[in-house]
Amino acid sequence: MMPGLEVSPFSAPELLEKAKSDDPREWVPAAMPGVWMRPLLFDTVAGAWVNVTRLHHVGFISRHAHPCPVHAYVLSGQWRYAERDWIAKAGDYLLEPPGDIHTLIGMEGGSETLFWIGGTLVELDEQGNATGYADVFTRIEQAAAHFEAVGLGRDYVRRFIR
């Protein structure tokens, strides 16, 4: 180690998690059957979260907007946005710019995608009216409730919080 370069005692501990967990209890059910989220990081300072979203539902998943950027990397399978003419496939990276509105569509065969989401996810109806939202704290609570229900305990969620 170089002199003067030391890990701060105030630094948060590193985080190493299995993105594609084999333990079904670690997959948090989303808004509809066939959609799950595997939490990896809840960044309570930056207001962001990272998860793997698993889709085993074909068709409409959700229409939503993000006021902050979203990064996505498709690990397996494919999905699309109704408003676009492309299909996101395994190995693809997507940057959703702030303010983007899109409708997530699940496709045959399912998919798993790593998402880094900053700020909020604003749920929208067909007319574009806000119907709900998710942020890092609602996602923490959703995961904590799930982990409690499946026997891992509410505090299991703390492993992902930084």
pLDDT digits (tens, 9 = 90+) for 68-114: 999 999 999 999 999 999 999 999 999 999 999 999 999 999 999 99
CATH architecture of the domain with residue range 24-160 = Sandwich (2.60)
Report the 10 Å Cβ neighbour count for 123: 16
Percent of the chain scored above 90 by pLDDT? Answer: 89
Separation between Cα atoms, residue 50 and residue 72, nearest integer Å: 10
Would you state the pLDDT for residue 3? 73
Separation between Cα atoms, residue 135 and residue 97, nearest integer Å: 17
pLDDT per residue over 5-34, tens digit each? Answer: 888 889 888 999 999 999 999 999 997 899
Would you state the pLDDT for residue 68? 96
Residue 1: is its pLDDT beyond 60?
Answer: no
User: What's the pTM value of the predicted model, to 2 decimals?
Assistant: 0.93
Residue with tokens 């939202």: 133
Residue extents of the structural domains in the chain: 24-160
